[in-house]
Amino acid sequence: MQQSEIIVVGGGLVGAAIAYGAARAGAAVTLLDQGDIAHRASRGNFGLVWVQSKGAGFPRYARWSRDAVAYWPELAKELLDLTGVDVALENAGGFWIGFSDAEVQARGAMLAKISDAIGGVPYEMLDHRELKARLPAIGPKVAGGSFCPLDGHANPLKLLHALHAGLMARGSRIVSSVDIATVARRGDRREFEAISTDGRRWRAARIVLAAGLSNRELAPQVGLHAPVSPNRGQVLITERLKPFLPYPTNKARQTHEGTVQLGSSVEDVGLDDGTTVPAIESLARRAIATFPVLSSARLVRAWGALRVMTPDGAPIYQESSSHPGAFVATSHSGVSLAAAHAYALGPWMAGFAKEPEDFAEFAGERYLDPARSFSNAH
């Protein structure tokens, strides 16, 4: 039986960032993590730090994304100074690539709509020639694209490591290999208890559920609704290559080490994180259509990972009204939103700051509205 001010259930990118932000604000934090046995959606994150196209039809989410990315450099520097871990942030802009004029036009319309709705997300639409001037390796099948100067990419695994190291540097406790099955309020005391499948218990005045797919079962235990489901993405990774791609694109980026990451599928296959030959071959074809030079690049590894997906693809952030002090947090954009999770959610959920503005829009009950329909198209 262990006491602390705030428990965060789930040590992936979302949970670790919130926990870090809470610790930074002064809370005594205990992070409970499944460790190596977890599905670990974080390891499947593509690594984009992305603004363009986020929140189409959901202006609050678009604003949240833009603000989160604006604070990313500060978070990266802070983590480097505190832990020595360089999360390899590059944020000189990013490209979306389109293969038909219709696709490019639709893209332009969507980006205009987002920008109008929230008052300015800078972007440029480019035709093939203009795109080729910026990305010389683009192939002839590319029709055009969009560029946003706010976009970038980072290393998701290093970010996870840095957040964990940052938590330890700030005196927080991380407990690994823990599988939380039950969360409950203790009697009429404003205290919550998390109980693991092997019977260990932790208590605190506040609790944050950031347990990825497990949030589905945990959230209702504190009066919250988090209808998340697994969505598989398959990704290819090449050998290290000499630098040829200076900016990330939505489906291909060259990492800091020189490997090229190519993605990704969107599949509804339950909890299967395996790979399939048709997807691997399809991703390879798309990669070569985008950058023909990649034809002679060697594929070293293909992997699948399970995104934690909500019905509309947007986050759920909510304090329970029936169980004040209990929160749920889920998003599949754990890299892009990391700074917002750390600097806004952490302090709020730990009781050091107010709930961010207009946050009712991120409540889980929105999915229960019969008048609305949802799509989490990527």
Partner 1 sequence: MHTETADRQAALFASEEAIGPNTVRIQFEDRTLCVREGTTVAAALLLNGAGPLRTTPVKSTPRAPYCMMGVCFECLVSVDGKPSRQACLTTVRDGMVIKRQHGASALDLSDEGDRHGL
Partner 2 sequence: MASEVDLIVVGAGPGGLAAAIEARKWGLSVTLLDEQAAPGGQIYRAVDSSTARMRAVLGEDYAAGALLTQEFMRSGANHVCGASVWNVGRDRKVNYLHGGCNKVVEGRHIVLATGAMERPFPIPGWTLPGVMSAGAAQILYKSAGALPTAPVVLAGGGPLLYLLASQYLNAGVKLAAVVHTTGTGDYLRAAAHLPTALRGWRDLRKGIRMLQHLRGHKVPVYAGSSDFSIEGTDRAEAVCFTCKGRTHRIETPLVLLHQGVVPNTQLSWSLRADHVWNEAQLCWVPRTDDYGQIDDSGIYIVGDSRGIVGAKASASQGRLAAIEIASKQGKLDPAQRAGQEGAVRKQLRANLHVRPFLDALYRPLDSHRIPAQESVVVCRCEEVTAGQIRGYVAVGCQGPNQTKAFGRCGMGPCQGRLCGLTVTELIADGRGVPPGEVGYYRIRPPIKPVTLGELAGEAS
DSSP state of 355: P
The answer to whether the beta carbons of residues 32 and 182 sit under 8 Å apart is: no
Between the two ends of the chain, the Cα-to-Cα distance in Å is 43
Q: How far is CA 14 from CA 136, 149, 235, in A?
A: 36, 25, 21
Q: Which stretch binds partner 1 (CB under 8 A): 77-85, 91-99, 233-241, 322-330?
A: 233-241
Residue ranges binding partner 2 (CB under 8 A): 35-36, 43, 157-158, 160-161, 164-165, 168, 174, 176-177, 236, 238-239, 257, 262, 274-275, 277, 280-281, 284-285, 287-288, 294-303
Query: Could you tell me whether strands 29-32 and 173-175 are parallel, antiparallel, or unpaired per DSSP bridges?
Result: parallel
Q: Which is nearer to partner 1, 180 or 241 (CB)?
A: 241
Indicate the DSSP class of residue 374.
-
Least separation in angstroms between residue 240's CB and partner 1 is 4
140 binds, among partner 2, partner 1, none (CB under 5 to 8 A by kind): partner 1
Q: Say which amino acid occupies 347.
A: P
Q: Report strand pairing: 201-209 vs 2-9.
A: parallel
What secondary structure letter does DSSP report for 249?
B
| 175 part of the interface to partner 1, by CB under 8 A | no
Which one of partner 2, partner 1, none interacts with residue 164, CB within 5 to 8 A by kind?
A: partner 2
By CB under 8 A, the residues from 286 to 345 that bind partner 1 are: 288-289, 291-298
Binder of residue 139, out of partner 1, partner 2, none (CB less than 5 to 8 A by kind): partner 1
Q: Least Å distance between CB 88 and partner 2? A: 12
Confirm if 303 and 184 have CB atoms less than 8 A apart: no
* The two three-digit tokens of residue 307, written as one number: 């995104």
Residue 165 interacting entry, from partner 2, partner 1, none, C-beta within 5 to 8 Å by type:
partner 2
258 binds, among partner 2, partner 1, none (CB under 5 to 8 A by kind): partner 1
Nearest CA to 87 out of 96, 79, 97 is that of: 79
Which residues are at the interface with partner 1 (CB under 8 A)? 136-137, 139-141, 239-242, 244, 257-258, 285, 288-289, 291-298
